[in-house]
Chains A and B, each alone.
Chain A
Amino acid sequence: MLEVRDLHAYYGKSHILQGVDMQIAAGEVVSLLGRNGVGRSTTVKAIMGEVPPVGVIRFKGADIAGLPSYRIAHRGLGYVPEHRDIFPGLTVRQNLMLGVKDPRNPGKWRLDDMLDMFSNLKARADTAAGVLSGGEKQMLTICRTLMGNPDLVMIDEPTEGLAPIIVQQVGDLIAEIARRGVAILLVEQKLSIALRISHRVYVMGHGRIVFEGSPADLKANDAVRKEWLEV
């Protein structure tokens, strides 16, 4: 479904991505792991066109490298950025409604389902999203992207800075997304969630993919974990 080949990206003169290769099949859950600063977030930003990409990015067979992000979104690629960019002045309900790309043609995720799934969001459906807790904001950003009915959703660091109980809930939501047949690219630092729900994992180091395999392969491979993941 998504194919990235020899992807490079630059911030000014620094060469951040130095030839990233990866693939995600329809319905697959893939994690992109690695330490801070190795280029994980830049990879998804380059795919969305927020950082100018150099290389091949194909989605459902079509070249999307460098398209404006709204065009990419319309092709069915959803993106949840790492900073929980909710619209603080709008209500929870309005935030969710803005996730819908085409009001005449709603997808499989309905507003009411979404609110039923999260009692916290339902109770606060008509309050300003700016007052939500960090965990609730994270749930809201993920749900908002789902309202656009993506076939693949890229989620950047969803559990960063959240309490363990909330991390668990976010994990459950991601598992539920996968259960409904949506492919996921999860950018994470915490191994626990990634290993629990992923079919396949990539590990990044110095702007490249340094390991690819199943969660079991990664668990068994002490050398890779020591060199590229553990601090």
Chain B
Amino acid sequence: MLELIVISTLNGVLYGMLLFLMASGLTVIFSMLGVLNFAHASFYMLGAFFGFQISRWVGFWPALLIAPLLAGAIGAAVERYGLRRVHKNGHVAELLFTFGLAFAIEEIVQIIWGKSPVDFRVPPLLDFPAFTIFSTNYPAFKMFMLLVSVAIFLGLLLALKKTRIGLIVQAALTHPHMVGHLGHNVGRIFMLVFGVGTALAAVAGVIAGPALVTQSNMAGLLGPILFVVVVVGGLGSLPGAFIASLLIGLLQTFAVSMNASLAGLLGPLSPDLAQSWLSDIWNVTIAQIAPIMPYLLLVLVLIFRPMGLLGTRDT
């Protein structure tokens, strides 16, 4: 039991930090542009595939740097030459634009790398168990993922709070017009934020690629969870995104490892219920409903606290 708790906590925090790498960009982009970027998870996928390809050519470590830069440059170009033009036609057009972009990226990835998973492996340098707790070997690569995510989180925090450009970004989150009147080029700030946000998603892709499966459906699998994170945390709130990322990371990891069911909990009280028409619900384990838990949370938050945990505006 203790082993389960320790391992699940580690995995949950790791998953949560990966989510945060993506959700942080998504939520900041939402604050500035007022639009949910449906293609955000696509940049995570681009990061993974770029990472895979560049690893083959020059190795994993250069790829860890080059792939996010490349994805970030594409992100910045999407903002500058795509979203900024679409922006004139209103939010619905922007939303549809990012929606279409997500499909376009998925198709392009399929054309280049195919539909089946690619062989993106953990670099040999990190391919060993970091430590053994109880009887489980915890892989070094996972510790490395955790380290990278935490380092980026701290770097981001420092850049936002301590640098001049960070202050301008914070100000532009709530008052973009005023920032422009003070002589700051808001358009360039938007492009920068979009570029950095998509680059962060790509970092998540490069480090998650070898640990999970690098495949053309990975954006589609992760995208919806990201929206859950930013809505639960409060659209536009970075601290909210952080808490919600960890919450959902832990929630999913723990739920998957739990085999409790209503039958197990209440079964001894009324054994005959398990035979009745209720038996389907009776025997479902928490692990089986784990995948829908984040969406359940999304629905509950939208009903009872529409501004999210730390959000300031209604969604």
Contacts and interface: CB of A to CB of B under 8 A. Distances in A.
B177 A98 contact: no
Interface string A80-101: 0100010111100010011101
Contact of A97 (B164, B175, B178): B164
Contacts, number: 59
Given A94-B167, A97-B164, A97-B167, A70 B183 contact: yes
Interface string B163-176: 01001101100110
B116 interface: no
B187 interface: yes
Judged by DSSP, the binding face of A is mixed
B170 A81 contact: no
Given A70-B184, A70-B186, A99-B182, A85 B175 contact: yes
A69 B184 CA distance: 9
A115 B157 CA distance: 28
B159 to A, nearest CB: 14
A174 B63 CA distance: 57
A74 interface: yes
Interface residues of A, number: 24
Contacts of A99: 182
Interface of A: 48, 50, 68-70, 73-74, 78-79, 81, 85, 87-90, 94, 97-99, 101, 103, 144-145, 148
Interface of B: 164, 167-168, 170-171, 174-175, 177-187
Nearest to B164: A103
A45 to B, nearest CB: 10
B164 A148 contact: no
Given A50-B181, A70-B183, A145-B181, 20 more contacts: A48-B181, A50-B177, A68-B185, A69-B180, A70-B180, A73-B183, A74-B183, A78-B181, A81-B177, A87-B178, A90-B167, A90-B171, A98-B171, A98-B184, A101-B182, A101-B183, A103-B164, A144-B182, A148-B182, A148-B183
Contact of A89 (B164, B170, B183): B170
Contacts of B174: 87-89
A79 B187 contact: no
A69 B171 contact: no
